[in-house]
Amino acid sequence: MVPAGYSLYNSAMLRLLIIDDEAAIRAGISAYFPWASLGIEVAATCQDGLEALAAMETTKFDLILCDIRMPRMDGIAFAEKVRERGYPCDIVFISAHKDFAYAKKAIELGAREYIVKPAGYEELNEVFSKIVKERAAAAAAAASNGASANATTEAAHPGNPAQPASLAERTLRLFRQDLADICLSSIAVKLNMSPNYLSAKLHQETGRTFSELLLDARMKEAERLLADPANRVGAISALVGYANPKSFIRAFRLYFGCSPTAYRYAARQPSNNRHSSDE
């Protein structure tokens, strides 16, 4: 269940929590980026994960911009606690370190993006514009999901000879419809359930997290799109749901062990050339 005091969507401005152990960075990001133009307000700033968790017990936040390396409780440990407690927040990590281990863990925890400091205006604008757009689309879907819920009920009725699809199958079907604008909350709305319940049920069915299933779907679609040389890497990035091509390339490298460009080049080589070293 969603924790008391939290709702999935709010017609008012989205509330942002900024977490960083450097006061100058907290102040700079809060004051110098035009959050209001995106429909976002900076509701609070905290210096580490422990302070942020305490704030979340009394205040509702929709978005979190969180540093990775902080004293007392770092960003990864904080994000794990947020997921354990079921807070329906979108988390964006920001770090001065291009650390693949941190980036991989961030992806596993369902982070929306991993931004490397210093974060420029264009990158912040691109990442948070995408998140705001997705939440607005999910809110619109929530307002009209009654018909979808009725259709699901009818499909599952004992008198209907067709077997209802499993939750994992329905989730993967929604992935295929639009990977560009998708997140746990938006899928949960379409399936008429809470994000926490959806995540738990998917893990029960598949043994995998929502984030792992989504990453698989994104990488498999990216692999398919790379087969067409007309598809540029930047365009593929957007099509599979990454606002920032750098984040896509980082995730692709972690998943496949090489960059999209290298993968495409290797895939286009004749098999006899690729295996010539074995002859």
How large is the angle between the packed helices 245-256 and 100-108, nearest 10 degrees?
Answer: 90
- Rounded to an integer, what distance in angstroms lies between the CA atom of residue 114 and that of residue 268? 30
CATH 3.40.50.2300 placement within the chain: 14-136
- Rounded to an integer, what distance in angstroms lies between the CA atom of residue 155 and that of residue 174? 17
Q: Which tokens in the block code for residue 130?
A: 């995408």
Q: Kindly report which listed range (42-51, 105-114, 177-186, 235-244) carries the lowest average pLDDT score.
A: 105-114
Give the distance from CA 149 to its chain's centroid.
25
H-helix or E-strand spanning residue 19: strand 14-19
pLDDT at 278 over 50: no
Res 87: pLDDT: 77
The string of DSSP codes covering 52-113 is: HHHHHTTS--SEEEEESS-SSS-HHHHHHHHHHHT---EEEEEES---HHHHHHHHHTT-SE
Is the separation of the CB atoms in 90 and 63 below 8 Å? yes
If one counts every other C-beta atom within 10 angstroms of the C-beta of residue 220, the result is: 15
More confident residue, 262 or 160: 262
**What type of residue is 122?**
E
- Rounded to an integer, what distance in angstroms lies between the CA atom of residue 135 and that of residue 39? 11
Give whole-number Cα distances, 143 to 11, 130, 140, 193, in Å.
12, 20, 5, 13
- Rounded to an integer, what distance in angstroms lies between the CA atom of residue 143 and that of residue 145? 6
For 51-83, letters b (16+ CB in 10 Å) and e give bbbebbeeebbbbbbbbbebeebbbbebbeebb
Q: Which tokens in the block code for residue 36?
A: 């209001």
CATH 1.10.10.60 placement within the chain: 144-266
Q: Kindly report which listed range (4-8, 48-52, 83-87) carries the lowest average pLDDT score.
A: 4-8
Tens digits of residue pLDDT in 187-209: 888 887 777 678 778 888 888 88
Q: Kindly report which listed range (69-73, 78-82, 226-230, 269-273) carries the lowest average pLDDT score.
A: 269-273
115: three-class secondary structure by DSSP: strand
Tens digits of residue pLDDT in 19-59: 999 999 899 999 889 999 999 999 999 999 999 999 988 88
CATH number of 144-266: 1.10.10.60
Tens digits of residue pLDDT in 136-174: 777 776 666 544 544 544 444 445 445 567 888 889 999
Q: Does domain 14-136 have CATH number 3.40.50.2300?
A: yes
> At CA 214, angle to CA 122 and CA 172, rounded to 5?
130
- Rounded to an integer, what distance in angstroms lies between the CA atom of residue 20 and that of residue 114? 14
H-helix or E-strand spanning residue 44: strand 40-46
